[in-house]
Amino acid sequence: MGVLEGLIVGSWPGPGYPLGNKFLIRFGDILTSGGLKVVDVTWPWFAITRKIDILQIHWPDMVFWRGAGAITTILRTFGVVASLLILKLKGVELVWCVHDLAPHDASRLRLQLWRWYATIIAHLVDAYLTLSPSTITVASEHFVGLKGKAATFFWHPPYEVPKSKFFESAWREKHGIQLSANVLALVGQVRAYKGVEELVSSFCNTKDPNLRLVVAGMPFGQHLRDLLDRAANFDHRIILDLRWLSDQELCEIITAANLIVLPFKQTLHSGSIIYGLSCGRAVLTPATPFANDLKKEIGDRWIRTYETPLSAAILSQQAAPPHGMPDLEFLSVRESGEKLRAFYHGLAVLKH
């Protein structure tokens, strides 16, 4: 295919991924807005017989997903590496979008396997992407195989979420929370790496009777559920809703809160931050490169950062939330589409 013709980008995984990942759907929108054709790639070995110019890799740690056992995981890693080698020999450009530096909440054994596997992928790929300017350097310093390779960033796209002014009053009334209460919330997947334990401990040390903490979503692990149950029994200002939530329920809870709190232990990027902003709520989170980049764009009223560790004082001193919606135009799908089209075409030109 000529470089001036439309490039075909295989996305692994792609917008049609069975779990309906919202980021992948929005990423598909980015590519199509840039005039690129998107092909769903379930696993790299299925791409070998497909006609693609670029393989866009998103989460190589998919090898660990869905509770795969040790043997299945090892076979998958070898299958991915072999498939990437074959695609590279066929002339397909390999591009890695580095979402995270390591799988979340992984065991020691999986982290050891990840380091070997990710090191090979970093050396195999031709280029890489991140989701904000500052994380380009973070990624290349962590994965030395990326050093010197072509790189750019595109902003994490905003989410399309249901919006209603009725959400706030209805959800609060349903849970017996007065409109005057100052509600902090952690909403979505409830996982250890999000700093749930630190958040609950810090909140229980606050003294404001008007303060509330909502933790909503499915906990990953019985230990987290038990921890939250104990905290809610100890401090009745804590409200729990521990289950899978629909998109509308997620937005209802976020809209009912004054502030979204995401005290990550470790993270490179965060879709949860973008989801909170997309629902029109300010976010409190550690001062990571990604969060600081966002703060430069929309200001510290919407992105509130702190130096770890989280404390009761930090939670207690949060100012009233801003009115209206944050200006997320800088996350424009159209602009990202144009940027990625130019980046991919630049790689294709170099290849030829």
Looking at the chain, the whole-number percentage of residues with pLDDT higher than 90 is 84
| Residue 228 located in a structural domain | yes
| Residue 2 located in a structural domain | no
Neighbours of 108 (CB within 10 A): 7
Asked if residue 89 and residue 171 are part of one domain, the reply reads no
Asked if residue 324 and residue 175 are part of one domain, the reply reads yes
Q: How confident is the model at residue 165 (pLDDT cuts 50, 70, 90)?
A: low
| Residue 51 located in a structural domain | yes
Asked if residue 128 and residue 98 are part of one domain, the reply reads yes
CATH number at residue 111: 3.40.50.2000
pLDDT digits (tens, 9 = 90+) for 315-337: 999 988 888 899 999 999 999 99
| Residue 113 located in a structural domain | yes
Q: Domain range spanning residue 147? A: 8-155+332-351
Question: What rounded mean pLDDT belongs to the chain?
Answer: 93
| Residue 207 located in a structural domain | yes
Distance CA 248, CA 245 (A): 8
Mean predicted confidence (pLDDT) in 186-191: 96
pLDDT digits (tens, 9 = 90+) for 278-291: 999 999 999 999 99
Asked if residue 208 and residue 115 are part of one domain, the reply reads no
DSSP H helical ranges for the chain: 22-33, 70-89, 108-124, 135-142, 166-174, 196-204, 222-234, 247-256, 271-278, 289-298, 312-316, 333-351
| DSSP H or E run through 260 | strand 259-261
- Tokens linked to 112: 């050891």
Asked if residue 170 and residue 308 are part of one domain, the reply reads yes
* Count of structural domains within the chain: 2
Tally of CA atoms within 13 A in the half-sphere of 314 that contains its CB: 19
Q: Give the per-residue pLDDT at 20.
A: 66
Q: Give the per-residue pLDDT at 244.
A: 94
Asked if residue 88 and residue 205 are part of one domain, the reply reads no
Residue 5 has pLDDT above 80, yes or no: no
Asked if residue 171 and residue 320 are part of one domain, the reply reads yes
Cα–Cα distances (Å) from 43 to 6, 73, 169, in that order, read 23, 13, 45
> CB-based burial of residue 285 (10 Å sphere; 0-12 exposed, 13-18 middle, 19+ buried)?
buried
Residue 198 has pLDDT above 50, yes or no: yes
Residue 208 has pLDDT above 90, yes or no: yes
> CB-based burial of residue 316 (10 Å sphere; 0-12 exposed, 13-18 middle, 19+ buried)?
middle
> CB-based burial of residue 112 (10 Å sphere; 0-12 exposed, 13-18 middle, 19+ buried)?
exposed
- Tokens linked to 47: 């791409």
Q: Kindly report the pTM of this predicted structure.
A: 0.94
- Residues sharing a CB contact under 8 Å with residue 124, sequence separation 6 or more, in sequence order: 81, 84, 85, 88, 94, 145
Asked if residue 322 and residue 177 are part of one domain, the reply reads yes
pLDDT digits (tens, 9 = 90+) for 136-154: 999 999 999 999 999 999 9
Distance CA 139, CA 158 (A): 22
The label of the residue with tokens 């590279």 reads 88
| Residue 160 located in a structural domain | no
Q: Give the per-residue pLDDT at 65.
A: 87
Q: Give the per-residue pLDDT at 2.
A: 46
Asked if residue 260 and residue 190 are part of one domain, the reply reads yes
| Residue 1 located in a structural domain | no
Neighbours of 65 (CB within 10 A): 13
pLDDT digits (tens, 9 = 90+) for 59-71: 999 999 877 788 9
Asked if residue 288 and residue 184 are part of one domain, the reply reads yes
CA angle 100, 102, 106 (to 5 degrees): 130
- Residues sharing a CB contact under 8 Å with residue 250, sequence separation 6 or more, in sequence order: 161, 187, 188, 216, 217, 275
Asked if residue 195 and residue 293 are part of one domain, the reply reads yes
Mean predicted confidence (pLDDT) in 184-191: 96
Asked if residue 203 and residue 267 are part of one domain, the reply reads yes
Residue 3 has pLDDT above 80, yes or no: no
- Tokens linked to 64: 């660990």
- Tokens linked to 55: 């393989």
Q: Give the per-residue pLDDT at 1.
A: 42
Q: Give the per-residue pLDDT at 19.
A: 64
